[in-house]
A and B are shown apart, each in its own frame.
Chain A
Amino acid sequence: MGKDSKLILDPLADNNPITIQVLGICSALAITAELEASIVMSISVLFVLGVGNVVISLMRNIIPSKIRIIVQLIVVATLVIIVDLVLKAFAYELSKTLSVFVGLIITNCIIMGRFEAFALGNGPWRSFLDGIGNALGYAIILIIVGFFRELLGSGTLLGMKVLGDPIEKTGLYAIGYEDNGFMLLSPMALIVVGIIIWVQRSRNKSLIED
């Protein structure tokens, strides 16, 4: 049991897919201007990676190694189509915000990376745990970035005005606080992730690169 829980807990911090393995950066940066979009994106990746890892793990002995990339892509693409259709049916506005980035889950390196590195060599249950663990590690970074960008950029969290009303000058705005609109622009996502990496590596010196 100890080994299995390691599969889930490791990717949350010391083997985080984004900050350590450098996988799946594209979507982490592009859609994190709002917390809600980050959460939905994390759930989508959780579904695709969890189910995909199990499917690939079940098929691992019958996939010829030469065409495995195509097989993996087809499995991911099918799962992503399901996610896309579900989002369009139940959260149409949000699927417009995410636009092409739902489709880009297909080429999200986390998914291909975990298929190659884990699901092709392990049984379904362990692959499932690995998929969930890595998706949660991805989700943590997305939610941290989304939290700070939405809070500092528009003063809201999940659309609720937590810092007071900027027009009626209540809450923090009463003492002269201003939203930093720059946080909503895409370059700040890169810088926020850079700072997360900085914090993480100063806490755990063994992760520092030469």
Chain B
Amino acid sequence: MEHVELFFKSIFIDNMVFATFLGMCSYLAVSKKVSTAVGLGAAVIFVLTITVPLNWLLDQYILQPGALSWLGEEYASYDLSFLSFIMFIATIATMVQLVEIVVEKFSPSLYNSLGIFLPLIAVNCAILGGSLFMQSREIATLGLATTYGIGSGIGWFLAILAIAAIREKIRYSSVPAPLRGLGITFIITGLMAIGFMSFGGMLTGGDEPTEANDKAAQIETVQDNSATKEIANNTKVID
């Protein structure tokens, strides 16, 4: 259930393009035709699915404060988190190269469709952003990190597919000359982002606290009240 929730949350609510504006450069540059947009989108899903879990492992076992304790007691106090940018980007650049080589070797047809996009992806902010958000949102397990990677990839794919389709159609309408091309794409993306904001309420449905929880909460607040009264009394005494 946790996986399903995170999956849909990363596709719709925290959509890479519409909620956090990651990967905008390639989103704007490669969205002139649907076919190329699909190629780049697929490559992004692919690379995110690999790099997010990999960077999760790096973060968990090397970078976090105290993560090195598996090496022995004397390493337990090390905090390497300041290195995370350089480690993440190195992993991403290496993985992109590796994926490129492997895909070229084993599936020339896939390479032909993804090939030119793979080098672009190393510097796509969506990929590094995926890893950095994974770190800052403290995703708990390797499985969840993988789900998060796939979900954000699919979200990005949907976004670029939608804008490419719209841009193909909009060529036939009479947009004011200064807005043509880049300007209107920005404004359409803004409108689409407003649309995507409506997904924000998607996951709030099941969160109502049950009765038992309510009672527990009430008891707690009662105790809190008595505690504060006691403190107040004490301070009066001191006064």
| A residues in contact (CB < 8 Å) with B | 19, 22-27, 29-30, 69-70, 73-74, 77-78, 80-81, 84-85, 99-100, 103-104, 106-109, 112, 185-191, 193-195, 197-202, 205, 208-210
Contacts and interface: CB of A to CB of B under 8 A. Distances in A.
Q: Identify the 7 closest CB pairs spanning chains A and B, nearest first.
A: A209-B181, A190-B190, A194-B186, A201-B178, A187-B193, A25-B24, A194-B187
B63 to A, nearest CB: 13
A197 B180 contact: no
B25 A194 contact: no
A29 B133 CA distance: 17
Contacts of A108: 125
Contacts of B20: 30, 186
Given A73-B122, A198-B183, A106 B190 contact: no
A29 B21 contact: yes
Interface in B163-198: 176-187, 189-191, 193-194, 197
B238 interface: no
A186 B193 contact: yes
Interface stretch (B81-89, B102-110, B143-151, B206-214): B81-89
B50 interface: no
A171 B21 CA distance: 35
Interface centre among A99, A187, A193, A209 (most CB of B within 10 A): A187
Contacts of A29: 21, 24
B28 interface: yes
Given A108-B125, A186-B19, A201-B178, A25 B86 contact: no
A168 to B, nearest CB: 32
Given A69-B93, A108-B125, A201 B24 contact: no
Nearest to B25: A109
Chain B contact residues: over half helix, strand or loop, or mixed? helix
A191 B190 contact: yes
Contacts of B29: 22
Given A103-B128, A109-B125, 16 more contacts: A22-B29, A23-B25, A73-B93, A73-B123, A74-B86, A74-B90, A78-B86, A81-B82, A84-B82, A103-B85, A103-B132, A109-B123, A186-B18, A197-B178, A197-B179, A208-B177
Nearest to A73: B89
Contacts of B85: 77, 80-81, 84, 103, 106
Contacts of B182: 19, 22, 197, 209
A77 B185 CA distance: 31
Nearest to B184: A194
Interface centre among A74, A78, A191 (most CB of B within 10 A): A191
Contacts of B235: none
Given A103-B128, A107-B125, A69 B119 contact: yes
A187 B191 contact: yes
Contact of B178 (A23, A190, A191, A202): A202
Nearest to A207: B178
B180 A210 contact: yes
A107 B123 contact: yes
Given A100-B132, A201-B178, A22 B86 contact: no
Contacts of A30: 20-21
Contacts of B187: 190-191, 194-195
Nearest to B128: A107
A46 to B, nearest CB: 19
Nearest to B22: A26
Given A103-B128, A197-B183, A25 B28 contact: yes
Contacts of A104: 22, 125, 128-129, 132
B85 to A, nearest CB: 5
A112 B19 CA distance: 24
